[in-house]
Structure 1
Amino acid sequence: MWHIKVPASTANLGSGFDSLGMALSIYLECWFTLDDSLAIEVRGEGRGMIPETSDNLVWRTADTLYRHVTGSPMPTGRLKVVSQIPLARGLGSSAAAIVAGLLLANTVLEKRLTVDELMEWALKLEGHPDNVAAALYGGFVFAWNDGRRVHVHHYRSPELKVLLIIPSFHVSTEAARQVLPTQVSLEDALFNSQRLALWIHAVSQRDWSLLRYAGEDRLHQPYREALVPGMRPIIEGALAAGAEFAALSGSGPTMIALVSPDRLEGVRRRVFEIAEAVFPEGFTVHETAPSPWGAQSVLDSWRWRSASNIPWHTRLLQTSTQV
């Protein structure tokens, strides 16, 4: 039996629209055993909504990669998928499923792909590098495209606790993209570029005092506020209560706050009070932490190096629209 474990992820992180991502210590896990027929069982988040057929995203991704490499369909078996990652909440549930499928195929292949090759495939299937890079490598990632290649810089995560404020409603990535303008002012572009530079400086120098400014944004959060009523009070309340950083997670509706351990309880109480007022339909406040580990295949001990052991490294990945 193969056991695959992939972390959730948060992307954008305020100013880093489609560039920054960070792995979180909540997981999607899969167990797979070869068998004569395909049987898929889904537990946890998404149960009753995620297909238990060959259309399941984990299985579909595994089959796509296996067919490409071998020319044959993915060998059938019993696949159990258990996820802690809420769907359509801005926490990388689709990215985690895609990465899990790639690892599943890779564990069955006789000649395995490298992590760089898996990242290239993840980018083809997901379309955006921030969530998949964080899920695959773990830690904090910065991705950029020079027109020919995607570069992924990998850093240690902040040594801070994470609070996730998760409303009960969904926001689709498509809807969140549609509200964005096709053009922005020079002033707003400059505003974000300055704050993105602060993020990289803060992470590379381990200076968390800059994060509240690094998270400021004018490119996506102001436009998505209409989809997440209550976003601004939560973010402002978390910062006022002592959080180092607060922003919309991905395309939302989840909001994320990074908090030092000694301030955690005070920030938690404050965001809970605000969430009760602005999310009458329901919400969850979840405590977790950044994950230094990316995706793992446990059975054969194929796992990536911990981000806490290296300051950063660079990957160069060829981009393509062909699958």
Structure 2
Amino acid sequence: MKIIVPATSANLGAGFDSIGLAVNLYLTIEVLEKAEAWRIDHDLGVNIPTDEKNLLLTTLSAVLAQKKQHLSAKYHLKMSSDIPLARGLGSSSSVIVAGIELANQLAQLGLSDEEKLALACQIEGHPDNVAPALYGNLVIASSATKEVRAIKAKLPQCKLLAFVPDKELKTVASRQVLPETLSYAQAVAASAVANVLVASLLSGDLVTAGQMMKEDLFHEKYRSALVPELAAFREIGQTYGAYGTYLSGAGPTLMMLAPEEKITLLLQHLSEKNWQGCFYELEIDSKGLQVEKSLL
């Protein structure tokens, strides 16, 4: 059996903790054989556990405990990923989604997509990354109440251009710079920007969506000091034809939505900056979570 989960790019500016987009970088989990103890083969670095401490297996255990199920067998697994770690592309969320599906398959739980999303939100804390990882495409979701609600949508044809800095930026550190509260007036203003962002995304107006991305009042202005490339990245995007630019998730990855015919020009000007990191030309993943040779 093989489980495949896409990377995700969250927030899209003002859609803080609720909007996400699936992109074509992938985590793959393969179930190889039964074993005496859980073992995960991977080449993701010495800091990623290869036993029950791995996030994949702690997620599996959490799901089984909630569903009051037990596995009699343990397995030898293989984990591979081309999603950069701790860079704002949903690397942890992809593992959580994979762990939920691994439990679903091995314990024959028969979980619906809605149940998987609810479990993922319980573990992750919010839906902006886990929802598109499950569903693919663009997802607007809320887990503010007991029930998780998600709206799935497709964007018009476009490409994505990501700059992934060499440095990591942990979500915890990125959240520490955010204010604990906003005034009523600030909250109303920030919500108005987010409302127009959502409306423009759902109507396919990427030009207006891009304008709303840069007007975010929830998080980017507080996090910009942690990602010094953001201002220049946005200026180049505006000058050379991108629809919009935003800080992907908690950062430090920077993302552009652009017409396909503008990507080469944008990449040319961005490359002149000699920033320390990598550029990725990406596409929207339309499938979300995939299972090959399902056990269900």
TM-score interval, normalised by the smaller of the two chains: over 0.9
Counterpart of 1:305 in structure 2 is none
In 2, Cα distance between the equivalents of 1:19 and 1:33?
A: 35
Matches within 5 A, 1:270-285: 270-274=269-273, 276=274, 279=275, 282-285=276-279
- Name structure 2 gaps, 5 residues minimum: none
Counterpart of 2:139 in structure 1 is 141
Preserved contact between residue 198 and residue 213 of structure 1 (Cα < 8 Å):
no
Preserved contact between residue 157 and residue 291 of structure 1 (Cα < 8 Å):
no
How far apart are 1:195 and its partner, in Å?
A: 2.3
Cα shift readout 1:271-312 (whole Å, capped 9, x = no counterpart)? 2223x1xx3xx210111111111111111298xxxxxxxxxx
Q: What residue identity is the alignment partner of 2:28?
A: E
Counterpart of 1:255 in structure 2 is 254
Residue identity (%): 33
Counterpart of 1:314 in structure 2 is none
In 2, Cα distance between the equivalents of 1:54 and 1:116?
A: 26
TM-score by length of 1: 0.86
Counterpart of 2:289 in structure 1 is 295
Residue 196 of structure 1, aligned match among 194, 197, 221 = 194
In 2, Cα distance between the equivalents of 1:118 and 1:42?
A: 25
Preserved contact between residue 70 and residue 107 of structure 2 (Cα < 8 Å):
no
Distance 1:174-1:117 versus aligned 2 partners, 3 A rule: same
Cα shift readout 1:83-124 (whole Å, capped 9, x = no counterpart)? 011111000000000000111111112341111111111011
Residue 238 of structure 1 pairs with residue 232 of structure 2: no
Distance 1:196-1:143 versus aligned 2 partners, 3 A rule: same
Q: What residue identity is the alignment partner of 2:222?
A: Y
Distance 1:191-1:269 versus aligned 2 partners, 3 A rule: farther
In 1, Cα distance between the equivalents of 2:156 and 2:238?
A: 17
SS at match of 1:130: coil
In 2, Cα distance between the equivalents of 1:234 and 1:292?
A: 26
Q: Cα RMSD (Å) of the superposition?
A: 1.8
Distance 1:117-1:269 versus aligned 2 partners, 3 A rule: same
Counterpart of 1:223 in structure 2 is 222
How far apart are 1:145 and its partner, in Å?
A: 4.2
How far apart are 1:63 and its partner, in Å?
A: 2.5
How far apart are 1:238 and its partner, in Å?
A: 1.5
Distance 1:212-1:55 versus aligned 2 partners, 3 A rule: same
How far apart are 1:222 and its partner, in Å?
A: 0.8
Preserved contact between residue 121 and residue 130 of structure 2 (Cα < 8 Å):
yes
Distance 1:184-1:191 versus aligned 2 partners, 3 A rule: same
Residue 42 of structure 1 pairs with residue 36 of structure 2: no
Counterpart of 1:68 in structure 2 is 66
TM-score by length of 2: 0.94
Range with greater deviation from structure 2 (162-171 or 187-196): 187-196
SS at match of 1:9: strand
Preserved contact between residue 117 and residue 148 of structure 2 (Cα < 8 Å):
no
Equivalent pairs counted in the alignment come to: 294
In 1, Cα distance between the equivalents of 2:295 and 2:196?
A: 37
Counterpart of 2:116 in structure 1 is 118
Cα shift readout 1:218-260 (whole Å, capped 9, x = no counterpart)? 2211111111122111122222211001010000000000110
How far apart are 1:159 and its partner, in Å?
A: 1.8
Preserved contact between residue 13 and residue 246 of structure 2 (Cα < 8 Å):
yes
In 2, Cα distance between the equivalents of 1:190 and 1:273?
A: 39
How far apart are 1:211 and its partner, in Å?
A: 2.0
In 1, Cα distance between the equivalents of 2:46 and 2:156?
A: 35
Preserved contact between residue 30 and residue 78 of structure 2 (Cα < 8 Å):
yes
- Name structure 1 gaps, 5 residues minimum: 303-323
In 2, Cα distance between the equivalents of 1:210 and 1:74?
A: 54
Counterpart of 2:212 in structure 1 is 214
Q: What residue identity is the alignment partner of 1:131?
A: N
In 2, Cα distance between the equivalents of 1:250 and 1:151?
A: 20
Residue 130 of structure 1, aligned match among 128, 151, 157 = 128
Range with greater deviation from structure 2 (32-41 or 8-17): 32-41
Preserved contact between residue 194 and residue 216 of structure 2 (Cα < 8 Å):
no
